[in-house]
Chain A
């Protein structure tokens, strides 16, 4: 598979992920009863699912740089710093049933989503960052557009949002540690 095909596959996953995030936020806002049912269904699975998202995002990121030889820009590196640890600590926490991982994961994903938001903003409107392109590796460069829309920063944004949403939905019961 070439880079555009991999981007299509990851873009399909990102579309699904974006629908999950929007669905969870929407349910919480307009259908609290359904949201509580969803919370019950996802109880105890937050770290597992968020960890899976982080692992897929990490593997996708590594494939684009090591497989497709796209050079990560500066903002990509900062997002990697936030995402890669999540791919390790969340599966470990899920394996050990260590639910106190949530605040640490929230901080990492929060930093990631903030950087990713800025990256998406300058990618959509390059004039916000500077008037020209750095010859070496500008962050405004769109390497791929999976399904005609999903650039790498957009997929990263959804990944961070999904990690936060899945961990937020899986809130521990008050009597849990």
Chain B
């Protein structure tokens, strides 16, 4: 006895008629699908002009790191980077002007942001609101645009921050994301709080919301 399926179309009845019906229905459905595909192509070609966003701002900039890179931030436990000096990162802003983070200066909040990350897209308006409300007065706020991918959504990143009303400095990471790696980036958004001596007060990976930011900024202001 064979286990092969019975390939006869229908027991009894009029198989050839049923096969004809089935074939006709399949052609009908295929015709409908072809019409849908044609409509889709027309829609795609019609909307193609709206997709490109023109901007002169570059995606990446040159980055030089001076100092020992911070260890990657783990999932739990004490952050080994706290009280360590952050490496000094020299780079450029979207206009090409020199910019640096790390080293002695004023207390600084360095936010590493990826344009395509929904958590960054949620966190940036929170930071912008805090800046506008004066909650971050006395703290230098720097957004480091990293993880940039021209194929990913919400590109270009500079246009995104401008759209959000970002008032802080902007530093462009390079194509190898050197600045992020130097600060031990483990996820987006990644925020590093540096005191006036350029030492790490705290680091956070992922969105922490308004209260989370205010908590770290309070620690930063207390540390000076």
A132 contacts B22, C-beta separation under 8 Å? no
Asked whether A16 is an interface residue with its Cβ less than 8 Å from the other chain, the reply is yes
Q: How many residues of B contact A (CB 8 A)?
A: 46
Question: Which residues of chain A are within 8 angstroms of B51 by Cβ–Cβ distance?
Answer: 2, 4
Question: Which residues of chain B are within 8 angstroms of A96 by Cβ–Cβ distance?
Answer: 5, 7
The chain B residue sitting closest to A125, CB to CB, is B118
A49 contacts B29, C-beta separation under 8 Å? yes
In the complex, 27 of the A-B residue pairs with CB atoms within 8 angstroms, ordered by the A residue number, are A4-B44, A7-B44, A8-B43, A8-B44, A8-B47, A10-B40, A13-B36, A41-B25, A44-B22, A45-B29, A52-B33, A69-B151, A97-B7, A100-B5, A126-B118, A130-B206, A131-B206, A132-B117, A132-B187, A133-B114, A133-B118, A135-B114, A135-B180, A135-B186, A140-B117, A141-B116, A141-B118
Asked whether A117 is an interface residue with its Cβ less than 8 Å from the other chain, the reply is no
B188 contacts A133, C-beta separation under 8 Å? yes
A133 contacts B36, C-beta separation under 8 Å? no
Q: Mark A74-99, 1 if CB is under 8 A from B, else 0.
A: 00000000000000000000001111
Complex-state Cα separation, A68 to B89, whole angstroms: 33
Instruction: Give me the 3 closest cross-chain CB pairs, A-B, nearest first.
Output: A132-B206, A12-B40, A131-B206
A173: min CB distance to chain B, Å: 8
- The interface of chain A, by Cβ under 8 A from chain B, is 1-13, 16, 41-45, 48-49, 52, 68-70, 96-100, 126-127, 130-135, 138, 140-145, 147, 175-177
Q: Which of B63-81 contact A (CB under 8 A)?
A: none
Total number of A-B contacts with CB less than 8 angstroms?
126
A24: min CB distance to chain B, Å: 13
Q: Mark B1-44, 1 if CB is under 8 A from A, else 0.
A: 00001110111000000100010011001000100110111011
A97 contacts B119, C-beta separation under 8 Å? no
The chain B residue sitting closest to A138, CB to CB, is B117
- The interface of chain B, by Cβ under 8 A from chain A, is 5-7, 9-11, 18, 22, 25-26, 29, 33, 36-37, 39-41, 43-45, 47-48, 51, 114, 116-120, 122, 147, 151-153, 177, 180, 185-190, 205-208
Query: Known: A44-B18, A133-B118, A133-B120. Is A143-B5 also a contact (CB below 8 A)?
Result: no
B11 contacts A176, C-beta separation under 8 Å? yes
The chain B residue sitting closest to A3, CB to CB, is B151
The chain A residue sitting closest to B189, CB to CB, is A132
A165: min CB distance to chain B, Å: 14
B124: min CB distance to chain A, Å: 13
B188 contacts A132, C-beta separation under 8 Å? yes
Complex-state Cα separation, A97 to B186, whole angstroms: 53
B143: min CB distance to chain A, Å: 16
B26 contacts A133, C-beta separation under 8 Å? no
B48 contacts A5, C-beta separation under 8 Å? yes
Question: Which residues of chain A are within 8 angstroms of B25 by Cβ–Cβ distance?
Answer: 41-42, 45
